[in-house]
Amino acid sequence: MKYETLLKNLMSEESYNKLAALKNEKVMEFIGFYAEHCEPASIYVCNDSEADMQYVRDRALALGEEVTLKYPKQTIHWDSYADQGRDKNGTKYMVYKENLESMKTLNSVEYEQGYNEILEISKGIMKGKSAVVLFFSEGPTESPFTIPCVQFTDSWYVAHSEYILYRSAYSHFLKMKEDEKGGFFRFIHSAGELDGKNNTKNLDKRRVFMDTQNNVVYSMNNQYAGNSVGLKKHSMRLAINKSGNEGWLCEHMFVMGAVNEEKNRMTYFCGAYPSACGKTSTAMIPGEKIVGDDIAYFRNINGEFRAVNVENGMFGIIKDVNEKDDPVIFENLMKNQEIIFSNVLMGPDKMPYWVGMGVDTPKEGYNHFGEWYEGVKDAKGNAVALAHGNARYTMRLDYLDNIDKEGFEAKNGVKVEGILYGGRDSDTTVPVEESPNWKDGILLKACTLESETTSATIGAEGVRTPSPMANLDFVSYPIGRYTMNNIKFGESVNNVPKIFSNNYFMRGADGKFITSKLAKKVWLHWAEGRIHGEYEAFDTPTGKIPYYADLKELFKKYLNEDFTEEVYTYLFTFRCAKWVEKLQRTKAFYAKMDQDTPKEIFEYWDAAIKKIEEAKAKYGDEIKPGCFKG
């Protein structure tokens, strides 16, 4: 074997034997090539044992990549002041020349150019550092959903994060059949040269290059988990491309169970919402069950629409997580259990503090800026907050009391009966509307998703940003084909889930939100009842909406609130001109993003616009609930 001598010199006998036991030439070749190229001082190989997990935890602490907090099972990690979010400019697809034209609206680089650049940057990048090789699975191991992964990194914080976020899969690799042994995702990462604060020094050479043709991700000179933890959004891009070629789906969706105690049933929903549009809060509605909060794989298994949570844990934004709004998560963050906090403040009491925590916070401490005190300014004269707005927590999902353990562990996933697509706008989309069929749901609910800027957003307020499927940042092949693949997959199953749109952000004339944050429980349970044929509905030009009497009862039942008919009428009035504008924006966006978008998609939207304009001519611009007769 070409790299045998090199790997034996870099590894202990135990580590080398773990690697050799796999009898997988492709794994050996991957590890050997980058061991030679990146030149680490040593390499440790992990299996699924608790001893190896503990070794990773211990190394992260010993190297200063993490620091223990007051509760000894909790640690904190800081990224540099300039490495606090996904590097969109430095994140590119490596694309063969013949495919460059079709990928021009995505951030791409010609394959040979990108490969040569990343090899130059990564040459000797691990010199003097210890590296680690880990084996994980996207989705449950040994199941139809499994995608095996190999991670090679010199960051023990990254390794520790992935142990929390993903299922360890060394035993899965041991059991792989000969024809499966090349079918794994490969991730090579280095934090690069470190400065005096133990942070990445050469951020000008920060790169995340993704080769979807060969399922390899190269991540160099970064530490922030969104750039360095390859198994998360980078792997998602590989999986979206793979699923598009193989006839299944990878979606930016939660998986959760709506619990109807009266009927003694649980109905599984998946949902996609752009950032700040209610995704996590919907997945965590009190009284329901969570399977996963971020990424789902969909497969047709024996004619059924089945889904799994790809992950094992949560990498969640911690800003504004507090006891009132997020009681389940907040309670767990206050326990002595394995959690990695990143880019929050460590107070003098060695407790973690963050923005919007809902408690009195210290006036000094240590954070991603360094020594911090209230009022301290950075080099540009900007005040430094006690924690970064993109600060995170990394935590196992099975810590949550509301986890659906059976669904979470199911090798064949859960049977999905409802899909939710939620955006943010103040005056167009009603709080909940059912699509009459799957294709209509994809084209009129999913493709038209938008997120409206607020006063908290830099720039103009009220601007609507297109976000088809709430997945735009991660779609790794042309969006027109991706849309058609969504349509085809849904139509291939026997139990086609019902699709519903959501919008929690309708405002009144006074500019205030009309319903409370908790109203989403009502919209969910109306959708759950529709799936089981328990509610009638009014037609609109784009779908079906609830009767007032049903919502009034649901508001009383779940929230003990009075829901007035006046509010109902305002919320569920169909606004024709607004919807035509929305569809025109969607058409323009698709035309800009993918010139090869199938003609039938535009024809479908044109027909929808015509239907709305005819309705406007007959009923007026604003059509109150029950007035439209489709």
- Per-residue 3-state assignment (H helix, E strand, C coil) for 206-256: CEEEEECCCCEEEEECCCCHHHHCCCCHHHHHHHHHHHHHHCCEEECCEEE
Task: Please give the DSSP secondary-structure letter assigned to residue 513.
Answer: B
Whether 320 and 356 have beta carbons less than 8 Å apart is answered as: yes
Angle CA 201–203–204, to nearest 5: 125
Whether 211 and 94 have beta carbons less than 8 Å apart is answered as: yes
Token pair recorded at residue 222:
């970064």
Neighbours of 228 (CB within 10 A): 28
Q: 57: part of which helix (H) or strand (E)?
A: helix 50-62
**CA 114 to each of CA 94, 207, 272: distance values in angstroms, whole numbers, following the listed order:** 6, 10, 32
Alpha helices in 63-149 (DSSP H): 111-122
Please, what is the angle between helix 548-559 and helix 565-572, to 10°?
110
Q: 480: part of which helix (H) or strand (E)?
A: helix 479-492
Which residue in 204, 231, 241 sits closest to 90, CA to CA?
204
Token pair recorded at residue 123:
């040459």
How far is the C-alpha of 230 from the C-alpha of 460, rounded, in Å? 34
How far is the C-alpha of 228 from the C-alpha of 206, rounded, in Å? 10
Which residue in 394, 416, 398 sits closest to 408, CA to CA?
398
CB-neighbour burial class of residue 128 (10 A; exposed 0-12, middle 13-18, buried 19+): exposed
Residues in the chain: 630
Residues acting as catalytic residues: 277
560: left (phi over 0), alpha (psi -120 to 50) or beta: left
Token pair recorded at residue 618:
């007959």
